[in-house]
Amino acid sequence: MKNRIFYIVLLLFLGLAAHTNAQADKWTGTWRMEYKPWPGRPPLVIELQVGLPGQQTLYPALLKLDYGNTFHGVYELLLATKSATQLGIGRFKYPVSETPFRLGSWMLYLNGTFNYGKPTNGPAYMQLSRMWIKDFGLFMKGLDDDDEIYTSTKVTLRGLLYQDSIRLKKINAQPWTGPHTNRIIHPEEDSIYFGIYDQVITSDSVVQLSIKDDDQLDKDTVTLVHNGRVLLHRMEMNDQTREQRILLDTGMNILTFFADNYGGLPPNTGNMRITTEGKTHVFDFAHRANWYATYLVAQFYRKPAAPTAPIKAPPPTTTRKNESLTSFTVHQADIILELWDAQQEDGDSISLRLNDNWIATGLPVKKAVQQIKISLQPGENTLLFMADNLGSIPPNTAALRIRFGTQAKTLELKTDFQRNNLVKIIYDPPAQP
């Protein structure tokens, strides 16, 4: 009898733990707003149900618009993580049902990001931050279609989507579990395009990235997020193609390419190209299917490498002096190191150690930017940079940029056989809410 009671309690505990973990994500759940443009008339109810994320970055969602007895619409869409407090809104909203008329291209007005907020007292909310579409021939399109008795309802819905404030309050944390969540985040399972490109499988650990403006230079800016980590933040595209190398994680890599604005000549015409195994894959906002999109999603699956011999540590560093370059504090565990030769490429090679672990040895310093992602432990972390050689032009030199969140710190490394460079990073985790 005692054993039976024990197992029942254990099962209840495990079920509660699973339930709690499923609801730990702040975005998942149901969000709602009542919009009352006219007194004495029923409100227009907006409801957004958000499901559990794929790869912790892509959220399937269901949007409902109910306006009394005059309109009912249900739409599937994709939301993508732009930052800890922002979800990008997908361009395409698949109409599961719409009666008695269709909103059509007016749904393009619902774009930009949902920005998260949580007051001290009260429920969490999502505030819509649009990227304005002022032209493109959308405003009057479809207004005079169908019966004229729908005109007033259409004007109200268009005004909501086009310019009125939208703030959705969270009413529960139950993830959306509709029958079509998989087709939203897995494009290989359906032909509907939600902004995710087909998966690319590669054996390369490093891919070459290039970003440029496909049209006239008009101050288009873009952001690039890799598996939830920001690689580029509001970068303005100019006449120089931005090129750098990206170190892929083993397994799935989600690269989300965001348009931050539409520039002076809408829409944003940013073009991202990623080269791996000799083939270049293009992700382009100028493509008709992506006009006025908030983001595009590239998927690169890096196959696990075959087992190799353990990394051989460089020669002991005890005979070299450790020269401290800087010390600073960050509030996130995952940061990105970018290394390149800012002078003449002359065959320099360096090794990097984080605390007691060598994370790279014999790394050639090239003109192209190389990225290394590292995870910090709470408290003080020590990054040691050691010269493997002096190149053809002593000393060994490299430019180092440390990206943490939306901030960055740039340093100049100078090492030789008598000195190493040392950087101390204090990781101060944010307080738990």
Question: What pLDDT, in 10s, does the model give residues 67-108?
Answer: 999 999 999 999 999 999 999 999 999 999 999 999 988 999
Range of weakest confidence among 65-74, 167-176, 263-272: 263-272
Domain boundaries, the chain: 23-181, 197-302, 321-427
Looking at residue 23, its pLDDT comes to 47
Average pLDDT over residues 387-404: 89
Percent above pLDDT 70 for the chain: 89
Residue among 322, 342, 315 at smallest CA distance from 421: 322
Looking at residue 22, its pLDDT comes to 44
Cα distances (angstroms) measured from residue 373 to each of 221, 404, 425? 24, 10, 14
H/E segment holding residue 15: helix 2-22
pTM of the complete model: 0.70
Average pLDDT over residues 228-247: 85
CA-to-CA distance for 257 and 274, rounded, in angstroms? Answer: 12
Average pLDDT over residues 368-385: 91
Structure tokens given for 225: 């997020």
Average pLDDT over residues 311-338: 80
Structure tokens given for 352: 């990097």
Question: For residue 405, is it left (φ>0), alpha (ψ between -120 and 50) or beta?
Answer: left
Q: Which amino acid is at 248?
A: L
Contacts 24+ apart (CB under 8 A), 410-417: 411/325, 411/326, 412/342, 413/325, 413/350, 413/385, 415/350, 415/385, 415/386, 415/387, 416/387, 416/390, 417/320, 417/387, 417/390
| Token pair 């504090």 in the structure block, residue | 329
At residue 85, what are phi and psi to the nearest 5 degrees?
A: -125, 15
Q: Does domain 197-302 have CATH number 2.60.60?
A: yes
10 Å Cβ neighbour count for 304? 8
CA-to-CA distance for 135 and 266, rounded, in angstroms? Answer: 9
- Is residue 65 within 8 A of residue 32, CB to CB? The reply is no
Look over the chain and give the mean of its residue pLDDT values, rounded to a whole number.
Answer: 87
Residue among 403, 23, 55 at smallest CA distance from 228: 55
3-state secondary structure (DSSP) of residue 68: coil
CA-to-CA distance for 393 and 343, rounded, in angstroms? Answer: 10
3-state secondary structure (DSSP) of residue 143: coil
DSSP per-residue letters across 221-257? EEEEEETTEEEEEEEEP-SSPEEEEEEPPSEEEEEEE
Range of weakest confidence among 16-30, 237-251, 362-376: 16-30
| Token pair 């894959």 in the structure block, residue | 281
Average pLDDT over residues 113-121: 94
Residue among 319, 320, 365 at smallest CA distance from 341: 365
Query: What count of Cα atoms within 13 Å lies in the side-chain half-sphere of residue 301?
Result: 7
Q: Where in 84-182 does DSSP place strands (E)?
A: 86-89, 94-99, 113-117, 125-129, 167-172
CA-to-CA distance for 324 and 98, rounded, in angstroms? Answer: 64
Q: How confident is the model at residue 47 (pLDDT cuts 50, 70, 90)?
A: very high
Structure tokens given for 187: 């494009």
Spatial neighbors of 318 by CB under 8 A, at least 6 apart, are: none
CA-to-CA distance for 415 and 211, rounded, in angstroms? Answer: 32
Residue 21 confidence (pLDDT) above 60: no
Beta bridge partners of residue 283, listed in sequence order: 272
Domain 321-427 architecture: Sandwich (2.60)
CA-to-CA distance for 192 and 180, rounded, in angstroms? Answer: 11
Average pLDDT over residues 349-373: 87
Average pLDDT over residues 131-159: 78
3-state secondary structure (DSSP) of residue 317: coil
Structure tokens given for 8: 């029942």
Query: What count of Cα atoms within 13 Å lies in the side-chain half-sphere of residue 171?
Result: 12
- The helices-and-strands tally (H runs, E runs) of the chain is 3, 27
At residue 215, what are phi and psi to the nearest 5 degrees?
A: -135, -150
Residue 303 confidence (pLDDT) above 80: yes
Higher pLDDT, residue 159 or 40: 159
Higher pLDDT, residue 370 or 141: 370
